[in-house]
């Protein structure tokens, strides 16, 4: 499951670029009146006053303020007076300013996030049917005007003037020699580098929340599915969210050697109907009818009835997100696409480098050798849904009933799971004191949707773990997912409370929190008291990671290429977006998967719900898997808890420096490919 996208942080995420006011944007926009002559004049005045030692800070700070200044902020003379009055030189005074700004931003970010958590409760928790007023409150972004307010009262300008913004290239080249203070100052310089109108921020908040609600309510009643013999293959009460629940049910069927394959085939048929939107709209989140997903027929009281398909709603949400985000493009001209802002600005990894990384792995010989090994282990040719093959996990040999009995009893409710959090941490090596500290700062709630982890943005707030908990207690699949989310919560707590200053809190990008979530998820059986005795454990875990990378990298390439297509076709309809998605998914499949699976034109890579409700987030998962593998190498022979604390206390460095300091090597697919080659040899003997 993903770490929930923090809508209220959007003003900050959108400003992580170094740009100038758009000359091609809205003609009515309030643009900067500051001339180059004025910038030179005030810069020279300040350099003359404070000396060449301050030249870099002065020139960059003054230029940055000039780019952000609007007619509504004052005249050119007002700008010059502001720079002269507000530039801070003395180290002690600059430290004091930094501390006061940090505290103020913590309070603002923290309370706005807390407010959003509360307003979204009716959407995220099982509080009955979602009503229109719930959606209005949930999509309301109380912080939409925050950024503009901070410009109006000049706090944003004071920040930009005194804390220079560095490009990603500069951070990467200079950052290794920076002190922690210099890093913190640089991160403060990321705060205000563009100026996005509040109405555009609010619009995206509304659109994104609507998409998230659509996905959270997209359940399929598997107990009402029919095969061609009018037989039902699943328990009547089995209701699963797409895609996560369907995927996890498909994974669980590998344990059933007799009937598992036919159930997997049925789930795949459902997925294909969702992707191409031929799914009857009346079977979404409803058990009113029985449905044959093969023939695509609806049955009520033994009779076939006519129906309407879902009217491309899935792809209309993609289009809505695209329009909301591209409306912001004109205000970030140095990163004029959401693709650039997501990768270079937020991930701090250029999209071309990410695509190259993914392509190297999905094209590798090791993946093809692994496909052959999986086929041998299954005793059949691979099917498209075998991208989710689950046979490299230790739990494959433990009866599902045994696992269910343990989790149902131990985690009978969300409250019971919350009480167990400190015990989970001590079982993984944390001291009782630290386990209690972390556990006390995580609150568990039973979710309406698949669940998520949502950290606090101030130390006064707690992290939320929202996960599905059925009335009869948490099932094993739910526990496995909850462990993933708890991994996020542990990261969120460590990186908020243990990082040396607030402005450095967090991780380089979301892939780094996904990595720890994967690490925790793999330790679920250990938490339940099962000791791993398999001598091939390391080889199995390596191949499980490689196959997971292979699956999700293809999905991510679809996501990236769809957004490239959207930018090339900005006036597309929802129908055209659907056709493009299908074409891209099949093209990626044919290029990197068809030779492994023996079938062409499969659309399965387009099933992921993240493509609908969290644009371009998907790349965080495969990057997270690579980081996960590098972390696990680092943990060998060391205290797991101590290493997690040490590594994640680095906070928000750039990705490659974080990895170099944490595990001693940069992000790469080479470690997993080299280890996989050896693991395949071990398991093939």
pLDDT digits (tens, 9 = 90+) for 316-364: 999 999 999 999 999 887 789 999 999 999 999 999 999 999 999 999 9
Q: With contact defined as beta carbons under 8 Å apart, do 163 and 628 qualify?
A: no
Scanning the structure block, which residue is given the tokens 């490659």? 656
Average pLDDT over residues 71-92: 96
| Cα 663 from chain centroid (whole Å) | 22
Question: What confidence category does residue 150 fall into, taking pLDDT thresholds of 50, 70 and 90?
Answer: very high
Q: With contact defined as beta carbons under 8 Å apart, do 249 and 240 qualify?
A: yes
Q: With contact defined as beta carbons under 8 Å apart, do 489 and 463 qualify?
A: yes
Give residue 451's pLDDT. Answer: 80
The runs of H, that is alpha helices, within 277-431 are 313-326, 338-340, 351-362, 365-378, 400-410, 414-427
- Flag whether pLDDT at 593 surpasses 60: yes
Average pLDDT over residues 209-215: 94
Q: Which helix (H) or strand (E) holds 292?
A: strand 290-292
| Cα 543 from chain centroid (whole Å) | 23
Q: Which has the minimum average pLDDT: 69-78, 188-197, 227-236, 394-403? A: 394-403
Question: What is the spatial distance between Cα 246 and Cα 267, in angstroms, rounded to a whole number?
Answer: 7
- Flag whether pLDDT at 670 surpasses 80: yes
Q: With contact defined as beta carbons under 8 Å apart, do 345 and 335 qualify?
A: yes
Q: Which has the minimum average pLDDT: 22-26, 424-428, 522-526, 542-546? A: 22-26
Give residue 16's pLDDT. Answer: 31
Question: What is the spatial distance between Cα 377 and Cα 390, in angstroms, rounded to a whole number?
Answer: 11
Quick one: which of 187, 152, 154 has its CA closest to 86? 154
Question: 406: which 2 tokens?
Answer: 């343990």
Average pLDDT over residues 153-172: 96
Give residue 431's pLDDT. Answer: 98
Question: 305: which 2 tokens?
Answer: 């009835």
- Flag whether pLDDT at 142 surpasses 50: yes
- Flag whether pLDDT at 24 surpasses 60: no
Q: With contact defined as beta carbons under 8 Å apart, do 62 and 43 qualify?
A: yes
Quick one: which of 80, 77, 61, 78 has its CA closest to 18? 61
Question: 184: which 2 tokens?
Answer: 């913190």
- In tens, the pLDDT along 292-314 reads 999 999 999 889 999 999 999 99
Question: What is the spatial distance between Cα 628 and Cα 39, in angstroms, rounded to a whole number?
Answer: 47
Q: With contact defined as beta carbons under 8 Å apart, do 554 and 526 qualify?
A: no
Q: What's the whole-number average pLDDT of the chain?
A: 92
Average pLDDT over residues 418-424: 98
Average pLDDT over residues 72-99: 97
Question: What confidence category does residue 394 fall into, taking pLDDT thresholds of 50, 70 and 90?
Answer: low
Question: What is the spatial distance between Cα 96 and Cα 457, in angstroms, rounded to a whole number?
Answer: 21
User: Phi and psi of 15, rounded to 5°?
Assistant: -95, 10
Angle at 51 between CA 45 and CA 56, to 5 degrees: 85
Residues whose CB falls within 8 Å of the CB of residue 480, separated by 6 or more in sequence, listed in order: 248, 521, 524
Percentage of the chain lying above the pLDDT 90 cut: 84
Question: What is the spatial distance between Cα 502 and Cα 159, in angstroms, rounded to a whole number?
Answer: 15
Question: What confidence category does residue 268 fall into, taking pLDDT thresholds of 50, 70 and 90?
Answer: very high
Identify any residues that bridge with 453 across adjacent strands, giving them in sequence order: 3, 465
- Flag whether pLDDT at 1 surpasses 70: no
- Flag whether pLDDT at 26 surpasses 50: no
Sign of CA dihedral 45, 50, 55, 61: negative
Give residue 362's pLDDT. Answer: 98
Give residue 126's pLDDT. Answer: 84
Residue 532 CB neighbour total at 10 angstroms: 12
- Flag whether pLDDT at 30 surpasses 80: no
Q: Which helix (H) or strand (E) holds 595?
A: helix 594-597
In the three-class reduction of DSSP (H, G, I as helix; E, B as strand; rest coil), residue 79 is classed as helix
Question: 23: which 2 tokens?
Answer: 């000359």
Question: What is the spatial distance between Cα 20 and Cα 334, in angstroms, rounded to a whole number?
Answer: 7
Question: 160: which 2 tokens?
Answer: 């930009």
Quick one: which of 72, 197, 71, 204 has its CA closest to 146? 197
Taking CB atoms within 8 Å and a gap of at least 24, the contacts of 675-678 are 675/542, 675/629, 676/366, 676/370, 676/542, 676/543, 676/546, 677/366, 677/369, 678/539, 678/542
Q: With contact defined as beta carbons under 8 Å apart, do 528 and 420 qualify?
A: no
Q: With contact defined as beta carbons under 8 Å apart, do 8 and 142 qualify?
A: yes
Quick one: which of 187, 161, 194, 195 has its CA closest to 61? 161
Average pLDDT over residues 182-210: 93
Average pLDDT over residues 467-481: 90
User: Phi and psi of 463, rounded to 5°?
Assistant: -80, 145
Give residue 396's pLDDT. Answer: 57
Q: Which has the minimum average pLDDT: 16-20, 140-144, 167-171, 179-183? A: 16-20
Q: Could you tell me the pTM of the whole model?
A: 0.86
- Flag whether pLDDT at 11 surpasses 60: no
Average pLDDT over residues 95-102: 98
- What's the burial of 132, exposed, middle or buried (CB within 10 Å: 0-12/13-18/19+)? exposed
Q: Which helix (H) or strand (E) holds 454?
A: strand 452-454
Average pLDDT over residues 640-667: 97
Give residue 534's pLDDT. Answer: 81
Please count the residues of the chain: 685
Cα dihedral 263→295→303→289 (10° resolution): 50
- Flag whether pLDDT at 280 surpasses 50: yes
Question: What is the spatial distance between Cα 347 and Cα 355, in angstroms, rounded to a whole number?
Answer: 13
Q: With contact defined as beta carbons under 8 Å apart, do 190 and 13 qualify?
A: no
State the angle between helix axes of 537-568 and 574-592 in degrees (0 to 180), rounded to the nearest 10.
Answer: 140
Summarize the chain as % helix, strand, coil (round to 5): 65, 5, 30
Q: What DSSP state is assigned to residue 271? A: H
Distances (CA, A) of 226 to 10, 233, 303, 305: 44, 7, 13, 14
Question: What is the spatial distance between Cα 206 and Cα 685, in angstroms, rounded to a whole number?
Answer: 55
Question: What is the spatial distance between Cα 172 and Cα 656, in angstroms, rounded to a whole number?
Answer: 8
């Amino acid at each position: 499951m993903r770490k929930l996208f923090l809508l209220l942080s959007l003003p900050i995420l959108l400003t992580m670029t170094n740009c100038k006011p758009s000359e091609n944007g809205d003609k009515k926009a309030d643009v900067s009146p500051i001339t180059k002559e004025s910038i030179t004049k005030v810069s020279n005045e300040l350099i003359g006053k404070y000396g060449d030692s301050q030249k870099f800070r002065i020139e960059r700070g003054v230029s940055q303020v000039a780019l952000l200044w609007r007619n509504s902020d004052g005249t050119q003379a007002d700008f010059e007076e502001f720079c002269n009055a507000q530039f801070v030189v003395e180290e002690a005074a600059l430290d004091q300013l930094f501390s006061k700004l940090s505290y103020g931003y913590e309070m603002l970010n923290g309370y706005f996030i807390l407010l959003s958590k509360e307003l979204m409760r009716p959407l995220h928790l099982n509080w009955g049917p979602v009503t229109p007023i719930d959606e209005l409150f949930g999509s309301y972004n109380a912080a939409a005007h925050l950024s503009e307010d901070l410009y109006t009262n000049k706090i944003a300008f004071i920040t930009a003037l005194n804390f220079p913004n560095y490009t990603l290239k500069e951070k990467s080249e200079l950052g290794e020699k920076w002190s922690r203070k210099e890093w913190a100052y640089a991160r403060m310089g990321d705060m205000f580098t563009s100026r996005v109108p509040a109405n555009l921020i609010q619009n995206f908040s509304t659109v994104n929340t609507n998409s998230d609600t659509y996905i959270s309510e997209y359940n399929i009643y598997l107990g009402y599915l029919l095969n061609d013999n009018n037989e039902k293959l699943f328990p009547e009460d089995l209701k699963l969210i797409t895609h996560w629940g369907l995927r996890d049910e498909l994974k669980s069927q590998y344990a059933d050697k007799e009937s598992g394959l036919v159930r997997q085939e049925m789930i795949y048929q459902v997925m294909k109907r969702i992707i191409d939107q031929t799914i009857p709209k009346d079977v979404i989140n409803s058990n009113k009818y029985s449905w044959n997903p093969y023939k695509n027929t609806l049955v009520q009281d033994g009779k076939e009835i006519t129906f309407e398909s879902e009217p491309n709603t899935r792809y209309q949400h993609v289009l809505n997100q695209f329009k909301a985000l591209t409306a912001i493009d004109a205000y970030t001209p140095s990163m004029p696409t959401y693709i650039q802002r997501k990768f270079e600005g937020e991930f701090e990894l250029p999209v071309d480098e990410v695509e190259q990384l993914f392509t190297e792995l999905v094209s590798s010989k090791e993946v093809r050798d692994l496909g052959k090994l999986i086929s041998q282990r299954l005793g059949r040719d691979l099917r498209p849904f075998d991208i989710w093959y689950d046979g490299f996990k230790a739990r494959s040999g433990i009866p599902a009933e045994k696992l269910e009995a343990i989790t149902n009893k131990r985690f009978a409710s969300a409250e019971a799971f919350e009480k167990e959090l400190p015990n989970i941490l001590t079982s993984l090596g944390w001291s009782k004191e630290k386990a209690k500290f972390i556990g006390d700062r995580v609150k568990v709630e039973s979710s309406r949707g698949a669940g998520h982890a949502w950290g606090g943005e101030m130390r006064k707030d707690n992290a939320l773990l929202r996960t599905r908990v059925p009335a009869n207690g948490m099932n094993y699949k739910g526990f496995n997912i909850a462990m993933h989310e708890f991994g996020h919560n542990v990261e969120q707590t460590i990186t908020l409370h243990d990082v040396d200053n607030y402005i450095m809190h967090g991780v380089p990008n979301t892939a780094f929190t996904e990595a720890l979530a994967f690490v925790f998820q793999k330790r679920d059986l250990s938490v339940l008291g099962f000791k791993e005795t398999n001598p091939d454990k390391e080889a199995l875990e390596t191949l499980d990671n490689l196959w997971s990378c292979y699956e999700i990298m293809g999905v991510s390439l679809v996501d990236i290429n769809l957004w490239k297509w959207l930018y090339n076709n900005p006036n597309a309809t929802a129908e055209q977006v659907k056709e493009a998605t299908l074409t891209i998914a099949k093209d990626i499949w044919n290029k990197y998967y068809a030779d492994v699976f023996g079938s062409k034109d499969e659309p399965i890579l387009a099933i992921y719900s993240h493509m609908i409700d969290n644009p371009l987030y998907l790349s965080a998962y495969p990057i997270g898997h690579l980081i996960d593998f590098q972390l696990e190498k680092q943990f060998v022979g060391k205290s797991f808890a101590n290493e997690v604390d040490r590594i994640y206390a680095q906070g928000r460095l750039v990705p490659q420096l974080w990895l170099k300091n944490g595990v001693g090597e940069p992000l790469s697919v080479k470690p997993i490919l080299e280890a996989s080659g050896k693991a395949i040899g071990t398991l093939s003997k």
